[in-house]
Structure 1
Amino acid sequence: MARPQRGAGPGMAGPAAAEEPFSPSVLGTREHWDAAYDRELQTFQDIGDAGEVWFGEESMTRIIRWLEKQKVPLDSPVLDIGTGNGVLLIELAKSGYTNLTGIDYSPSAIQLSEKVREKEGMSSIKLKVEDFLAPSAELSGFQICIDKGTFDAISLNPDNAAAKRKQYVRSLCTVLKPEGFFLITSCNWTKEELLNEFREGFEVLEELPTPKFCFGGRIGNSVTALVFQRQKN
């Protein structure tokens, strides 16, 4: 999935962000992402371009550096929630991680990520069409779950986004092992808001550094990146 923005503002996750309400958006619908990845799939077939890296390459580097700093075993099962073009999984594989799975509810996204995987020669990466809000029974036992923009998009769904956010947390508890790690990158939510959204069953371990900006004399972050750990009980 991609980088939806909050309300009519600049998608800030800084001090001014809390003043902006969420508004339903086409960015929260499956139809939008199916159409978007249909276009990206065609572009890849035409010119070999895998498309945009959501939140930029620095977001992938930030995640990989944290995993390396924590000495997470390279064979730990990793799930990329809303994998899109699968480029994050490619970079994880290049860094030595061997047990990688990507899911997306858009079949076109999975088709695209399969072609990117084939081009990069990373046949061991597992890719599946899955709706994270209704995960299959086989989607379980992950030590690491990663989200770059998927929770943002769910938050903009025109059909009862609040209930979908709660279901997201329940799904996360289903697929992530107790004491497993959840790394989330968001351009819609502040740290305090994410702490509230994931207060049941999770504790925050660390806020990862992200670029800062000055807006109206106040300093904030355009992106929030947090690491949570699932509690034992």
Structure 2
Amino acid sequence: KKKKKQKKKKKKKHKQNKRIETASTRLSLSLSLSLMEVATENVDVESGNTSDPEDNNCSDNDFEPSKLGTKEYWEEAYQKELETFTDIGDVGEIWFGEESMSRVLRWMDKANIPQNAAILDIGTGNGAFLVELAKHGYSNLTGIDYSSASVELARNILQAEGLTDVTVQEMDFLNCHGELVGFDVCIDKGTFDAISLNPDNSKEGKKLYLQVLKDALKDKGFFAVTSCNWTKEQLLDRFSEGFDYVQELPTPSFQFGGKTGNSVTALIFKRVY
């Protein structure tokens, strides 16, 4: 009995330590999100928009390069999340929070997106959005991420939820070589942000992203993007070629200096050519 008690105490202490470690990791991720929000350069304080000094549109150097745009950063982050899930069953960080998923789901309901629609989650992370989509009744789901730890974590979480019909693949969206086609809806929650911060190929990455997105979507397919780096005007400019703007989804707003703005932007586009 004494040995059993000691064993239970050790196990309890291990879980407590793991929760502390997890909280530290979450804080790091939250700080990373904050850094993404302030990474914009050339910001006009009055309007809150970033402008290109040459043509008043988005420049190819909108943001300072950051480790948040590197595969190594996310591989390390999701490896820690994977270890935490294995140890104590904690699913990890939900990027932009649960409300970011709920607002897209509400739009899908109002837009009457069929439950058998082919849906792609770009940069799926821990697969939390795939879980919510599946619970919402959507049955043709695919998630991709270039982090192997992310993919393993997402698969483990889906399996724990009993959701075995969801596809999760290790794949770099910018280097998928035409493997992604025929989707009715593509969802991005922070991946375009990360690509924009890549120290190596931000300029080319943003251009390539647009082309791969067009290839992945069916004609008249929808693109739902959530960003903490880009304003509505910037996203409209970035996705003006080949897409029609459908609507902006409501996000939390703030006031500063008599001006009102949003820390997160969520837009819906439709592929037209």
Contact 1:213 1:219 in 2 (8 A): yes
Question: 1:119 corresponds to which residue?
Answer: 160
User: Structure 1 residues 155, 128: CA separation in 2 closer, same or farther (over 3 Å shift)?
Assistant: same
Higher RCO structure, 1 or 2 (CA under 8 Å, sep 6+): 1
Q: What per-residue deviation string (whole Å, max 9, x for no partner) do you get for residues 101-154 of structure 1?
A: 000000100000001001111101100001000114332100000000000000
Amino acid at match of 2:37: Q
User: 1:209 Cα deviation (Å)?
Assistant: 0.5
Q: Does 1:18 align with 2:59?
A: no
Following superposition, which runs of at least 4 residues in structure 1 exceed 6 angstroms of deviation?
none
User: What amino acid sits opposite 1:171 in the alignment?
Assistant: V
Pairwise CA RMSD? 2.0
Query: Aligned pair count?
Result: 229
Contact 2:40 2:229 in 1 (8 A): no
Per-residue deviation, 1:99:
0.2
The residue that corresponds to 1:37 in the other structure is 78
Judge conservation of contact 1:6–1:22 (CA < 8 Å) in 2. no
Tell me how far apart the structure 2 counterparts of residues 36 and 19 of structure 1 sit (CA, whole Å). 32
CA distance, structure 2, for counterparts of residue 18 and residue 55 of structure 1: 22
Q: Which amino acid aligns with 1:33?
A: W
- Taking structure 2 as the reference length, what is the TM-score of the superposition? 0.80
Q: What residue number does 1:147 align with?
A: 188
Offset of 1:17 from its aligned partner? 4.7
Q: Classify the secondary structure of the residue corresponding to 2:213.
A: helix
Whole-Å Cα distance in 1 between the matches of residues 87 and 47 of structure 2?
Answer: 43
Residue 105 of structure 1 pairs with residue 107 of structure 2: no
* The one of 135, 138, 142 aligned to 2:176: 135
* 1:42-98 alpha-carbon deviations (Å, 9 max, x no partner): 111111111111111111110111001011110000000000000001001001000
TM-score by length of 1: 0.93
Greater Cα radius of gyration, structure 1 or 2: 2
Q: Which one of the candidate residues 135, 149, 153 is aligned to 1:94?
A: 135
CA contact (8 A) 1:6 1:23 kept: no
Percentage identity across aligned positions? 53
Post-superposition CA distance 1:9-39 (Å, at most 9, x none)? 9xxxx94252795100000000101111111
Unaligned runs of 5+ in 2: 1-28, 53-61
How far apart in 2 are the matches of 1:164 and 1:207?
Answer: 24
Q: Please state whether the residue corresponding to 2:174 is helix, strand or coil.
A: coil
What is the alpha-carbon distance in structure 1 between the residues aligned to residue 190 and residue 38 of structure 2? 12
In 2, Cα distance between equivalents of 1:26 and 1:88: 24
Show the counterpart of 1:7: 39
